């Protein structure tokens, strides 16, 4: 073999060796990258599992507060997750509560979930009525509770909260608001929105109240101040809003309808910021 041929062969062998080593390095780099990606995915999955568990704890805590609102009801109903099996004990309690409810209320239930929510609402109302003592007869007609998991809506007509023509909370409502505040204060991850509503009657021109916007906002703010000043609910958790006469629940053409429309709604809401913080982790 000539010297040139020898050099050529050696160069070819060297090039082959270099190419193989280069490919090997590429494979090693790809392997390392895939291992890192797999590790990141596992870490992300673990974080997601932890966040989901934390969310479940938050929901469970909120449901417990709803259970507390029912007080010591003999047939207390526990809210269940949608799609999950309901225990026979829960079904039995719902049937017992339904036996005490007026027919028109029972007729609103189209599903088992509806039945559970109605039974929970009935228990909450019964417990809140106990706080009214001598005002039970008036309060029974003037308090409405609805549960749309995970939101509790407490609607109070003005005769429960205010004297005629006033926007200052009447002291007779303090026992009721104290009970609501007790539940609110036991659950820090809950926001409270208070909405004032009015009928469509125009305010007298001689009144210090400008219009229905003014009235509904003043009444909502008065309830908020009472919860904060009298019962220690943190002001940073309270939201006061007025809806004027734009969301009636009854016919404003009748005296009875207008009385129902003059109302204040207290909504107990899971704290959205809290849930968003968990999801961002």
Domains along the chain with CATH numbers: 131-281 (3.30.1330.60)
Q: What's the rounded Cα separation, in Å, for the pair 98 and 107?
A: 10
Task: Quote the pLDDT of residue 276.
Answer: 40
Contacts 24+ apart (CB under 8 A), 231-236: 231/177, 231/178, 231/181, 231/182, 231/185, 232/181, 232/185, 233/181, 233/184, 233/185, 233/192
Does residue 13 have a pLDDT over 60?
no
Most confident of 39-48, 123-132, 162-171, 263-272: 162-171
User: Worst-scoring range by mean pLDDT, 17-21, 144-148, 248-252, 256-260?
Assistant: 17-21
Least confident of 18-27, 186-195, 225-234, 253-262: 18-27
> Nearest Cα to 265, choosing from 192, 191, 185?
192
Q: For 27-36, 95-104, 171-180, 248-257, which range has the lowest pLDDT when averaged over its residues?
A: 27-36
End-to-end CA distance of the chain: 70
Which one has a higher pLDDT value, 203 or 29? 203
Is pLDDT of 220 > 60? yes
pLDDT band (50, 70, 90) for residue 31: low
Q: What is the mean pLDDT of residues 137-148?
A: 74
- Averaged pLDDT, 38-47: 65
What's the confidence (pLDDT) of residue 245? Answer: 93
For residue 82, pLDDT beyond 60: no
More confident residue, 273 or 251: 251
Tell whether the model's pLDDT for residue 21 goes beyond 60. yes
pLDDT at 121 over 60: yes
Mean pLDDT lowest for which of 7-16, 146-155, 215-224, 226-235? 7-16
Task: Determine the average pLDDT of the residues in 86-102.
Answer: 76
Burial readout 188-211 (b: 16 or more C-beta within 10 A, e: otherwise) = eebbbbbbbbbbeeeeeeeeebee
Residue 241 pLDDT: 93
Whether the predicted pLDDT of 275 surpasses 50: no
pLDDT > 90: what percent of the chain? Answer: 21
Q: Answer with the residue of higher pLDDT: 152 or 46.
A: 152
Instruction: Indicate the pLDDT class of residue 223, thresholds 50, 70 and 90.
Output: very high
Pairing verdict, β 238-242 and 151-157: unpaired
């Amino acid at each position: 073999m000539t010297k040139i041929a020898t050099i050529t062969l050696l160069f070819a062998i060297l090039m082959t060796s270099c190419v193989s080593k280069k490919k090997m390095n590429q494979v090693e780099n790809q392997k390392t990258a895939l291992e890192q990606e797999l590790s990141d995915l596992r870490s992300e999955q673990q974080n997601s599992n932890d966040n989901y568990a934390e969310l479940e704890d938050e929901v469970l805590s909120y449901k417990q507060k709803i259970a507390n609102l029912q007080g010591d009801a003999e047939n207390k109903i526990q809210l269940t997750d949608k799609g999950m099996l309901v225990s026979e004990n829960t079904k039995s309690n719902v049937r017992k509560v339904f036996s005490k409810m007026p027919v028109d209320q029972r007729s609103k239930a189209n599903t088992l979930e509806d039945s559970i929510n109605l039974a929970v609402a009935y228990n909450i109302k019964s417990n809140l009525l106990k706080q009214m003592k001598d005002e039970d007869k008036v309060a029974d007609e003037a308090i409405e509770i609805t549960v749309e998991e995970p939101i509790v809506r407490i609607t109070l007509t003005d005769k429960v909260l205010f004297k005629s023509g006033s926007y200052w909370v009447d002291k007779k409502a303090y026992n009721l608001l104290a009970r609501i505040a007790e539940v609110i204060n036991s659950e820090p991850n809950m926001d409270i929105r208070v909405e004032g509503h009015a009928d469509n009657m125009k305010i007298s021109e001689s009144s210090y109240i400008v219009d229905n916007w003014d009235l509904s906002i003043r009444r909502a703010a008065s309830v908020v101040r009472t919860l904060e000043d009298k019962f220690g609910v943190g002001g940073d958790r309270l939201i006061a809003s007025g809806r004027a006469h734009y969301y009636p629940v009854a016919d404003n053409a009748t005296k009875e309808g207008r009385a129902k429309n003059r109302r204040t709604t207290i909504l107990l809401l899971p704290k959205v910021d809290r849930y968003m913080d968990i999801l961002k982790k």
